[in-house]
Each structure stands twice: as structure tokens, then as C-alpha cells.
Amino acid sequence: MKAIVNTQYGSPDVLQLKEIERPTPTDDEVLVKVYAVSVNSADLHLLRADPFLIRLSSGLFKPKNKILGSDIAGRVDVVGSNVKQFKVGDEVFGDISACGWGGFAEYACAREDAFALKPTNLSFEEAAAVPMAAVTALQGIRYAGQIRPGQKVLINGASGGVGTFAVQLAKSSGAEVTAVCSTRNVEMARSLGADHVIDYLQEDFTKNGKQYDLILATNGDRSISAYRRALSPKGIYVQTGGSMRQMSQAMIQGPWISKTGSQKMGNMGVAKPNQNDLVILKELLEAGKVKSVIDRTYPLSEVADAIRYLEEGHARGKVVITVGA
């Protein structure tokens, strides 16, 4: 099979398209013929081993996982003897990052609990855009953020992969949603259901005097004190992305603020893969309450270009790799 392989850390230049042996599933795994896989910032961080601490889990001198890519959609080709949930031919989607990655390839193996049946109304590309980004948004909004109908919710970084899903999930939960994005993405944010849109190039939401019950920060570089100004007295701030400064402050100062005051602030990071959350999203997608936003698609041979584009930081929604048909 063809796969994009990286045997060393570095820029996208180290990625190579190679012909390698097809993986063999264990008794508890399924082998999926991959039709589409999306690119995540996690792929970029693992590729560059940035921050350096990533090496403690991914390999000190060279990467343990030679094939990146986590969010796949495809068709079950082989099932292990202990697999109960799927059969050959089932169309599935899922996040295989907890199973050793391996999505940038024509075939990938993972445990059955990494997958759910693909939403019937989505293409493979649309389904591949969902897992990590949408589950991060779901866990940030529903679980860490404890969203309730009628709350005022602000999504910072509303035009990115996580942000586009977060706007829709917050709106479907009955919240009054404010999206923060750049000028060119204002109309897109409105089309996703945002009640209000702030162009961060024109207005600083931390200085306009407005406060929110829940702030989900998927991007940006603001101090935690700035976010506190925009947070209601009993509000919740959830950090899922952004600059290292922004994330570090949420990790270090957030617990202290949460313990000593009425506001709750913290860093959630990337979502933990969860089959139940995939099923929840499948239902929302099939009901038309949430949709995938895809900026660009690339063939498997151009994964390096796709990662370079994502690294520029201007992708609207998701970047997806088309593997086969």
C-alpha cells in the first residue's frame, strides 16, 4: 500500500510517499480501507516534535509512529476475531491517534472502539473532517464548559477546525453565540449560526465591556487576565488551543483562579478519543444540526503541502486528504 512516512522529526520536507506492507489487524482490531483523512495541528506538532516535551511520549530521537494522520473515514476491509461492532463493508469514521496513528495511508488498523458508523449523509471527506476537531469542540462545550440553554458563549478562533464545530454545537445547545474571527471569515461564522460576530482586527472582545458565561479559546494569544475581563463572575473559560503562552497560563494560573474565585479557568487541550462522542456527533450530523467545513482537499501524495498550508494558520475549517474512491 502507499503511505506517507516520516522516519525523522522536521519540517514537512521529511515526509516521503512510500510503498509499504499493508498492516494486519489483531483480534481486537479492524482494518479500514482509507478513503479520506483530515490534517490536524497535532500532526504538525508530532512531525516537528514541537514542543520538545512531545518527544517523551513520541520518541526521544526519532518518531515511534512512522505514519501520522488520525482522523480517517473509510470502509472496513478485515475484522479481527473479537470484533463485535462492525462487519466487512461497513463505512466508518474515527480518530485512531490512541492506536498508533497511521491515517496517511491507503489502509489503517485500529481498535473497534476508535470508530463509529459514518453518518449516512456525509461523504468520506466530510466524515474525515469530524473526529478530533468536533470531539474537541464537543468536550470543551458540553463537558468542560457545562453549557446550558440561554447562556452567552464566545468562541475565539471560530473559523478554524475546532471553532467551526464549536459555533454549531453551542448554537444547537440553545446558547447565544458570539464568534471571534478575522474579516474574511465573518460571513462564514454567521452562516454557521453565530448570533454575533466580532472581527478581531477591528475590535478587542476583552476590552468592549461585554461578558460571557462560557469562553472557548481554540486559537489566539491573549493573557489569562484579559480573558477574565470578558468572563462573567461565575463564568467558565476553556482553553483548547492557541499560543504556548496562552496555553501555559491556562495550565498554570487556571487551577489557582478556579480554586480561589468563582470563575473556572483551565486548559483542556486536545480531546480524548471517545466512541460515545462520535456517536453523538453522528446523530447531530445526520439531523443537519452540525456540518463539516472543508477549506481544501489534497491527494495523498501532497500531504506535505497540506500540512504546510495548515501551518500558515489561515485554514477555514478543515484540510482533508483524499486517499481513494
Do residues 191 and 98 share a domain?
A: no
CA distance 83 to 78: 10
Tell me whether residue 93 is in a domain: yes
Do residues 89 and 204 share a domain?
A: no
Do residues 91 and 111 share a domain?
A: yes
Do residues 15 and 79 share a domain?
A: yes
pLDDT at residue 55 greater than cutoff 70:
yes
Tell me whether residue 43 is in a domain: yes
Triad 153, 240, 11: Cα angle to 5° = 140
Do residues 90 and 184 share a domain?
A: no
Do residues 116 and 158 share a domain?
A: no
Do residues 68 and 187 share a domain?
A: no
Do residues 142 and 111 share a domain?
A: no
pLDDT at 221: 75
pLDDT at residue 325 greater than cutoff 70:
no
Give me the mean pLDDT over the 109-136 stretch: 98
CA distance 306 to 235: 37
Each residue's pLDDT tens digit, 286-324 = 999 999 999 999 999 999 999 999 999 889 999 999 997
List the domain range (segments joined by +) for residue 212. 133-267
pLDDT at residue 17 greater than cutoff 90:
yes
Do residues 69 and 10 share a domain?
A: yes
Listed residue (89, 110, 91, 92) closest to 101, CA to CA: 110
Confidence of residue 41 (pLDDT cuts 50, 70, 90): very high
Give me the mean pLDDT over the 193-222 stretch: 94
Confidence of residue 246 (pLDDT cuts 50, 70, 90): confident
Give me the mean pLDDT over the 63-85 stretch: 97
Do residues 123 and 138 share a domain?
A: no
Mean pLDDT of the chain: 94
Each residue's pLDDT tens digit, 253-266 = 888 889 888 999 98
CA distance 237 to 206: 13
pLDDT at 58: 84
Dihedral (C-alpha) 203, 204, 205, 207: value to the nearest 10 degrees? -120
Close Cβ partners of 249 (under 8 Å, ≥ 6 residues apart): 223, 224
Tell me whether residue 162 is in a domain: yes
- Structure-block grid coordinates of residue 244: 504556548
CATH classification at residue 298 = 3.90.180.10
Close Cβ partners of 118 (under 8 Å, ≥ 6 residues apart): 73, 91, 92, 93, 124, 127, 282
CA distance 198 to 280: 29
What phi and psi, each to the nearest 5 degrees, are found at residue 267?
-105, 120
Tell me whether residue 122 is in a domain: yes
> Is 278:112 a contact under the CB 8 Å cutoff?
no
Do residues 259 and 160 share a domain?
A: yes
Q: Please state the domain count of the chain.
A: 2
Tell me whether residue 24 is in a domain: yes
Q: How far is CA 57 from the centre of its chain?
A: 20
Burial class (CB in 10 A: 0-12, 13-18, 19+), 201: exposed
Tell me whether residue 79 is in a domain: yes
pLDDT at 268: 84
Do residues 108 and 164 share a domain?
A: no
CA distance 145 to 138: 9
Give me the mean pLDDT over the 31-59 stretch: 90
Close Cβ partners of 270 (under 8 Å, ≥ 6 residues apart): 42, 132, 136, 240
Tell me whether residue 255 is in a domain: yes
Q: State what percent of residues in the chain have pLDDT above 90.
A: 83
Tell me whether residue 315 is in a domain: yes
CATH classification at residue 160 = 3.40.50.720
